[in-house]
Amino acid sequence: MQDEKAFIAQLLNPETQNEAFRKLLQLYQKPLYNHIRNMVLNHDDTDDVLQNTFLKTYSNLGNFKGESKLYSWMYRIATNEAISFMQQRARKQGISNEEVQQKAINKLESDVYFDGNEIQLKLQKAIAVLPEKQQLVFKMKYFEELKYEEISDALGTSVGALKASYFHAVKKIQDFLHTD
């Protein structure tokens, strides 16, 4: 964005905030939706998390220090919101986070908003058996095509550790796809 500081000022000003917030939605709702959907898999859940992400962004704009880009900050909020959403669901159902992922994967085949072919479904199943962090790194690198530096900024993990995670994830997924 050309002048992010000025845009944030518009978001904080009661006179201009409505118009600025609409612009914020138009700019970032699609990439954030895709990121959240990759994590929680189901459309309705993604919708809930996306709403929380925008509301949290707005209510915390006054605390935004501008040390990173606005989108990077929102991306971190979206990631945290999606993780908390899955943790809450696991707690409510008395199961582990991995089991929540497995249940979501099992529902994919009958999901009207999933039109993946056999390979795509197999890939989703292969990802779901990875440890949580590897899942996240793989999805951000492979589906969203983020740079390691961007993933590092979002997850607070070193680039070296991310490269190792991605390498292990790819190896396990390929093994899964070959054997399954």
Residue 2 in the binding site for other proteins (CB under 8 A): no
Q: Which member of 26, 63, 94, 156 binds other proteins (CB under 8 A)?
A: 26
| Shortest reach from residue 126's CB to other proteins, in Å | 9
As a whole number of Å, the CA-based R_g of the chain is 18
Residue 28 in the binding site for other proteins (CB under 8 A): no
Given a contact cutoff of 8 angstroms between Cβ atoms, the answer to whether 92 and 115 are in contact is no
Given a contact cutoff of 8 angstroms between Cβ atoms, the answer to whether 144 and 124 are in contact is no
- Whose Cβ is closer to other proteins: residue 73's or residue 166's? 166
Give CA separation, 59 vs 12, 15, 62, 64, 114, in Å. Answer: 10, 16, 7, 10, 33
Q: Which member of 91, 113, 149, 158 binds other proteins (CB under 8 A)?
A: 113
- Tokens representing residue 48 in the block: 């809930």
Residue 177 in the binding site for other proteins (CB under 8 A): yes
Separation between Cα atoms, residue 12 and residue 144, nearest integer Å? 30
- Whose Cβ is closer to other proteins: residue 26's or residue 156's? 26
Residue 91 in the binding site for other proteins (CB under 8 A): no
Q: Which member of 7, 9, 47, 150 binds other proteins (CB under 8 A)?
A: 47
- Of 72, 93, 94, 88, the C-alpha closest to 40 is 88
Given a contact cutoff of 8 angstroms between Cβ atoms, the answer to whether 7 and 69 are in contact is no
Segment lying near other proteins (by CB under 8 A), choices 10-18, 66-74, 80-88, 156-164: 10-18
- Whose Cβ is closer to other proteins: residue 139's or residue 154's? 139
Q: Which member of 87, 106, 120, 158 binds other proteins (CB under 8 A)?
A: 120
- Tokens representing residue 95 in the block: 């199961």
